[in-house]
Structure 1
Amino acid sequence: MNEVDAASPRSQSRRWSPVMLGLIAVVVVVVAVALVAIFTRDGDSVYPADSPEGVVQRYAQAIVDGDSAAALAYLVPESAEECERWDTGAADYRITLLRSTERDTTARVEVIVSEVVGGGPFGPDEYQNQEVFDLERVDGDWKLVTTPWQFRICAEKVQP
């Protein structure tokens, strides 16, 4: 005679509602997809040294490493010869390739430059800018004509 009524609060607390089961299933799927994405992604891509993307990658790495002599080798000869060097600072930059356009003698490499700054109570701040590197072919090699301000090692000349 002690039957529990199906509508009583005690019997409902022991059952999982279909909504609750659905939410749990969604969370499990999202976590599984995130784990697969994290564990199967490739490391940083290394582009061929003789490609526009590879030149940008090596130039930016030289700047980040503070190796201005190596960075100058990637500039068009006119810029490298007339370069009045300046300190690029010690910022933490990351570059992500958006797209690259290559023609016979010119190329354009579009990137997102991410700069990590500070370390406040919620972690570091990150700022992103879409930037462009312009290159031209000089004696068969790709050389940089213009670089984003974050990666400029030569002071700009002021025109009179």
Structure 2
Amino acid sequence: MKERPNLVLAVVAAVVVLLAAVAAFLAANRQPPDLDPSTPEGTVQLFVRAVLEGDDEEAVGYLDPSLGCRAPLPDLYRPQGATITLVDSVTRDGTAEVTIDVTEQAGGGLFGSWSHRETLRLRAEADRWLVQRDSWPIYSCR
């Protein structure tokens, strides 16, 4: 009679593990919403996406020309995949600071990723925003 409660407990535990795995898979493969490109947040999203996809021409278009960056960008680390999450955005007097959490995937498996927080600084120019200073993932163009 004691075998039946153990079997029920094992089945419940297996279902919980399966649901957790499905939830993790869905969360990892969820596409983020496209942000308004006329905002600092949208500019950061487009800039990071261009860098990660290797579109150096587009990425340079989001950078302040005073940085001296040109395509092709210098050798830089490009993760195999990354998930970017907006943490905070502060805009004042024509400047902005956009803070993001970056989760990089370096291969397969549950432990093949790590996270870090980055803050990108932007300035307004006419009807768009430009990334200022050397920031992640391009620390220097010189």
Q: Given the two structures, how large is their TM-score scaled by the length of structure 2?
A: 0.70
Higher-Rg structure is 1
**1:83 corresponds to 2:72:** no
The percent identity for this pair of structures is 23
Aligned 1:11-160 pairs, distance under 5 A:
12=1, 16-17=4-5, 21-22=8-9, 24-25=11-12, 27-28=14-15, 31-32=18-19, 35=22, 42-79=30-67, 82-83=68-69, 85-104=73-92, 105-117=94-106, 125-152=112-139, 154-155=141-142
Q: Which letter maps to 1:154?
A: C
Residue 74 of structure 1 and its aligned partner are, at CA, apart by 0.6
Supply the distance in 2 between the matched residues of 1:36 and 1:113 (Cα, whole angstroms). 20
Deviation at 1:23, TM superposition (A): 5.3
CA RMSD of aligned residues (A): 3.4
> TM-score if structure 1 supplies the norm length?
0.64
Aligned length: 138
Deviation at 1:135, TM superposition (A): 1.1
Question: Aligned partner of 1:106: which letter?
Answer: T
Separation in structure 2 between the aligned mates of residue 114 and residue 36 of structure 1, nearest angstrom: 17
